[in-house]
């Protein structure tokens, strides 16, 4: 393996520019192009070789399969009226109260993130929530913000709740019982703290009333197939995670089976759903993998490694400090490279279960500070833009500086108390 030699400052400049381009999208240039320009610049400046870049792209195969499956399921659910049906049901249960609708969306976000992953919340839940808010005649932004924040806040309830969990622990993934013993209470603390911040910060936008629609239209046969496909995907993901298998193939398999089943029910041409999928997400993620590999090869993360190296005595204060540093670091590039860094650190330093768990909490909760923090948040931005909704980085940050530190502190306090 050939290691590229380059300036860490230049790497951070390229990676940061790519991330800003994705978030701000100046001149309406697509997100994938900004990421590709960053990866191309790294190649052109010999910060990474073609061989290393191709290897980095191949490393993301499981992620591409997972995202393709989730995007196909989301499009099938939209086309077959599952989102519209869910929206009508939500507005009926809310009974005219925007605050009740807010709590309902938050609860559904917890379930989706827990069972399908935070990326699924961004891809599948966001358009459904937009439909619910639109159906209720409510301003959509407060409810859409839930999708982004709960995707990270609930992302360590189970190992499958965030692909980053599988990255951080790898082959050393704790059994489900041990996982719940360590992370169940911290997860509840993070979810509750995030809810409290969002509920208070957005209270002015939740005043008044919303449309009450007592009639929930029946869900057609194809819509029921789509709902069954999503449920089957959740069950298969839980099984695959428990067996230590990759999550991408079963997700794509379930999505393809659902697609074919709907084709049989509808007897319609198969290409409509495929045309609506945001295929540009895949080159965007591939380019991010190249940038991640470039950061690693040029040693741009070395200063962070030195700061995170644990002392011989594994003190709770040190674990909390390491998690806080990691949490902030996720926003400098993305939680993916920082998760890989945490993995290397845990292995090299023979870190204890306490330090490993604290680092995972930092990787999962840190992205709630800004829109650059996680792949799930970037996917959320793309989903919003498909609906014609724009959320500025500043708007997200004003909520993030309140929600992330409080949730991180609450989760770490609970975690350190039980370990």
Residue 231 in domain: yes
At 66 the pLDDT is: 84
Is the pLDDT confidence value at 1 over 70?
no
Whether 337 and 296 have beta carbons less than 8 Å apart is answered as: yes
Report pLDDT digits (tens) over 272-286.
778 778 788 889 888
- How many structural domains does the chain have? 1
Cα 216 → chain centroid: 31
At 3 the pLDDT is: 47
Could you give the percent of the chain with pLDDT greater than 70?
Answer: 89
Report pLDDT digits (tens) over 292-333.
788 777 776 666 555 555 554 467 887 888 888 888 888 877
At 232 the pLDDT is: 92
Is the pLDDT confidence value at 369 over 50?
yes
Residue 92 in domain: yes
Q: Is the pTM of this model over 0.85?
A: no
Is the pLDDT confidence value at 396 over 50?
yes
Q: Which among 362, 371, 359 is positioned nearest to 395, based on CA atoms?
A: 371
Q: How large is the average pLDDT for residues 373-399?
A: 88
At 123 the pLDDT is: 83
Average pLDDT, the chain: 84
At 349 the pLDDT is: 59
At 177 the pLDDT is: 82
At 276 the pLDDT is: 76
Residue 284 in domain: yes
Which region among 73-87, 107-121, 215-229, 327-341 has the lowest average model confidence (pLDDT)?
327-341
**What residue numbers bound the domain in which 328 lies?**
8-418
At 156 the pLDDT is: 94
Report pLDDT digits (tens) over 110-160.
988 998 888 888 888 898 889 888 878 889 999 999 999 999 999 999 888
- Cβ count within 10 A of residue 259: 20
Is the pLDDT confidence value at 403 over 80?
yes
Predicted confidence band of residue 21 (pLDDT cuts 50, 70, 90): confident
Could you give the percent of the chain with pLDDT greater than 90?
Answer: 30
Q: How large is the average pLDDT for residues 338-361?
A: 76
Report pLDDT digits (tens) over 22-71.
777 788 788 788 889 999 999 998 889 999 999 989 888 888 888 888 88
Residue 169 in domain: yes
At 337 the pLDDT is: 67
At 185 the pLDDT is: 97
At 77 the pLDDT is: 85
Residue 381 in domain: yes
Residue 59 in domain: yes
Residue 1 in domain: no
At 190 the pLDDT is: 98
Residue 209 in domain: yes
Report pLDDT digits (tens) over 79-100.
888 877 887 788 788 888 999 9
């Amino acid at each position: 393996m050939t290691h590229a030699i380059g300036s860490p400052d230049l790497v951070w400049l390229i990676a940061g520019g790519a991330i800003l381009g994705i978030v701000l999208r100046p001149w309406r240039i697509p997100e994938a192009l900004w990421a590709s320009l960053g990866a191309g610049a790294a190649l052109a400046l010999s910060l990474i070789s073609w061989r290393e870049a191709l290897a980095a792209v191949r490393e993301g195969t499981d992620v591409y399969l997972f995202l393709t499956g989730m995007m196909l399921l989301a499009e099938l659910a939209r086309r077959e009226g599952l989102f519209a049906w869910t929206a009508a049901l939500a507005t009926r249960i809310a009974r005219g109260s925007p605050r009740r609708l807010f709590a309902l969306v938050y609860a559904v976000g917890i379930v989706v993130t827990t069972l399908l992953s935070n990326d699924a919340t961004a891809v599948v839940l966001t358009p459904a929530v937009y439909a619910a808010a639109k159906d209720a005649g409510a301003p959509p932004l407060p409810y859409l913000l839930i999708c982004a924040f709960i995707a990270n806040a609930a992302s360590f309830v189970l190992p499958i709740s965030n692909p980053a969990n599988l990255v951080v622990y790898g082959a050393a993934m704790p059994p489900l019982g041990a996982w719940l013993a360590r992370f169940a209470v911290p997860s509840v603390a993070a979810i509750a703290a995030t809810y409290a911040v969002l509920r208070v910060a957005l209270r002015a936008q939740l005043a008044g009333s919303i449309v009450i629609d007592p009639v929930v239209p029946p869900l057609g046969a194809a819509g029921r197939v789509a709902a069954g496909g999503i449920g089957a995907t959740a069950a298969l993901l839980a099984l695959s995670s428990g067996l230590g298998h990759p999550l991408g193939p079963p997700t794509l398999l379930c999505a393809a089976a659902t697609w074919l089943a709907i084709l049989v029910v509808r007897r319609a041409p198969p290409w409509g759903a495929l045309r609506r999928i945001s295929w540009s997400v895949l080159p965007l993620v591939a380019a991010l993998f190249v940038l991640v590999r470039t950061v690693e090869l040029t040693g741009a993360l070395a200063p962070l490694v030195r700061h995170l190296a644990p002392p011989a005595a594994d003190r709770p204060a040190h674990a909390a400090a390491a998690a806080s540093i990691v949490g902030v670091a996720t926003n400098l590039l993305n939680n993916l490279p920082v998760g890989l860094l945490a993995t290397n650190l845990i292995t090299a330093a023979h870190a204890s279960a306490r330090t490993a768990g604290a680092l995972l909490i930092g990787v999962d909760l840190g992205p709630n500070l800004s829109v650059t923090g996680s792949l799930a948040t970037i996917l959320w931005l793309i989903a919003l833009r498909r609906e014609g909704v724009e959320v500025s980085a500043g708007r997200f940050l004003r909520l993030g500086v309140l929600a992330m530190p409080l949730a991180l502190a609450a989760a770490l306090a609970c975690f350190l108390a039980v370990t």
